């Protein structure tokens, strides 16, 4: 694996003086088999053409394999334990934060590619990348954030984007899609804005995030006709982005990444009810809400971190371990395995988790305060499972000057990508956990 990681970085590396511009596009939920297999009936000329003319890999992700921790690893080269983005939603046991996510870059505790490039005096722009509100030093930033999807969200975006940017963009590229809209139509709208931004500012480094494929796989399931149709449209968006970037500078390096894979789902694992029965979670008098807790699940799609109120309380941890053992023994709960704190540390998961519970394929974590194990779910696809689950593998495609054509690196670690991008940009990334071999 070390040789593969070193090869990844070496293949990407160019001397700083020769560093071309770099466009980094993230396609949420893109599995390697989508573009690697040519017998699946998908028309993906942009992705397959970039892979054929460049270097590609399947990617083992981080704990948990959900969007925000993964995208922060892609931009830092560090695990969630180091970079601080532990989940999609912030820890909110009493459910008072109205489903607040880790939107703010101030929560990132590791050096980012944005900062590294900005320190080097490069022009850096971003369109919709997760955890990007308030990134310091960006030339232009259209961050990802939403609250209600109502018109006030547009005002919020105008306030949080680079001053004056949204008005200038909309005069050229039309209305900017609200952050809560994750459909392919919204991706296509943001693609227009990214192209307008690149043409006007000619950045050295640009990040663009497309979310419609993930959205459709949750709604209709991976491999569904609806999801496949969305991916074909995303391939068109990629083609447009690459064409625009290379019209500005034909030497532009293009790096396509994704955050995780996907698995079909049909049933729900419920950890709240056994925790309530064990007295670890206490409800309000009417049973409708959580009043207090000693230990509680922090859901992450196909898995859940278990937080304890008193991390040094050995007796409390023993009670939690006993509950988890009983639930895991119930076939209806669909539990695959449970990590302890040492295993979580080895996997790079947050230090705030005392245990981490992984669902079996077909199950996902539910949040109901009542009910039984194995209830049907309307969600047709999920991720968030442990990163060693093959279905969770993400994608890498890199294409540009000096990058070997037609090379398949096999399976690499997600942390190797950001240092490779930094090398292409000719900058130093301070906290990457996989050292560059040059």
For residue range 106-141, list pLDDT tens digits in order. Answer: 999 999 999 999 999 999 999 999 999 999 999 999
Mean per-residue pLDDT for 408-419?
96
Split at pLDDT 50, 70, 90, the class of 93 is very high
- Residues contacting 38, CB < 8 A, separation 6+: 48
Q: What residue ranges do the domains of the chain occupy?
A: 2-262+388-425, 264-382
If we measure between CA atoms, which residue out of 311, 348, 379, 344 comes closest to residue 69? Answer: 348
Tens-digit pLDDT profile for residues 148-164: 999 999 999 999 999 99
Cα–Cα distance for residue pair 300/286, rounded to 1 Å: 27
Q: 148: helix, coil or strand?
A: coil
User: What pLDDT, on a 0 to 100 scale, did the predictor assign at position 434?
Assistant: 81
Query: For the whole prediction, is pTM greater than 0.85?
Result: yes
Average pLDDT, the chain: 94
Strand order in the sheet with 335-340: 295-300, 303-308, 355-359, 335-340
Region 2-262+388-425: CATH code: 3.40.720.10
E-strand spans in 217-372? 253-257, 263-270, 281-283, 290-293, 295-300, 303-308, 335-340, 355-359, 362-366
Cα–Cα distance for residue pair 346/174, rounded to 1 Å: 47
Q: At what angle do helices 212-220 and 225-248 cross, to 10 degrees?
A: 180
Cα–Cα distance for residue pair 307/149, rounded to 1 Å: 31
């Amino acid at each position: 694996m070390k040789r593969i990681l070193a090869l990844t970085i070496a293949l990407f590396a160019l001397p700083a003086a020769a560093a071309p511009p770099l466009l980094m596009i993230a396609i949420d939920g893109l599995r390697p088999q989508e573009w690697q297999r040519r017998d699946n009936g998908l028309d993906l000329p942009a992705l397959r053409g970039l892979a054929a003319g460049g270097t590609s890999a399947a990617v083992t992700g981080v704990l948990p394999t959900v969007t925000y921790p993964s995208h922060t690893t892609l931009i830092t080269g560090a695990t969630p334990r180091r970079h601080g983005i532990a989940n999609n939603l912030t820890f909110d046991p009493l459910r008072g934060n109205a489903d607040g996510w880790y939107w703010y870059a101030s929560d990132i505790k590791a050096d980012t590619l944005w900062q590294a490039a900005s320190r080097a005096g490069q022009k850096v722009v971003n369109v919709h990348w997760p955890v990007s509100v308030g990134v310091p030093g960006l030339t232009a930033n259209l961050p990802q954030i939403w609250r209600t999807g109502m018109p006030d969200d547009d005002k919020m975006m105008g306030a949080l984007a680079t001053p004056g940017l949204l008005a200038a963009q909309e005069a050229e590229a039309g209305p900017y899609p609200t952050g809560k809209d994750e459909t392919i139509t919204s991706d296509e709208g943001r693609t227009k804005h990214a192209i307008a931004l690149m043409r006007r500012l000619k950045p050295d480094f640009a990040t663009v995030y497309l979310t419609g494929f993930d959205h459709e796989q949750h709604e209709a399931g991976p491999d569904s006709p609806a999801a496949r149709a969305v991916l074909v449209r995303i391939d068109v968006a990629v083609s447009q982005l690459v064409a625009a970037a290379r019209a500005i500078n034909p030497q532009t390096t293009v790096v396509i990444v994704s955050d995780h894979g996907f698995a079909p789902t049909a049933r729900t694992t419920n950890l709240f009810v056994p925790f309530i029965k064990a007295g670890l979670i206490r409800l309000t008098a009417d049973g409708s809400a959580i009043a207090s807790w000693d230990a509680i699940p922090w859901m992450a799609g196909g898995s859940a971190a278990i937080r304890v109120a008193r991390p040094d309380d050995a007796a409390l941890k023993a009670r939690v371990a006993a509950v988890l053992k009983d639930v895991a023994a119930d076939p209806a709960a669909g539990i695959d395995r449970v990590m302890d704190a040492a295993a979580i540390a080895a996997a790079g998961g947050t230090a705030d988790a005392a245990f981490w519970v992984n669902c079996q394929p077909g199950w996902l974590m539910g949040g109901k305060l009542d009910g039984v194990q194995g209830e049907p779910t309307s969600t047709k696809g999920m991720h968030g499972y442990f990163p060693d689950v093959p279905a969770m593998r993400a994608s890498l495609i890199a294409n540009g000057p000096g990058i070997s054509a037609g090379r398949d690196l096999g399976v690499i670690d997600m942390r190797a990508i950001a240092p490779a991008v930094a090398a292409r940009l000719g900058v130093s990334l301070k906290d990457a956990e996989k050292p560059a071999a040059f």
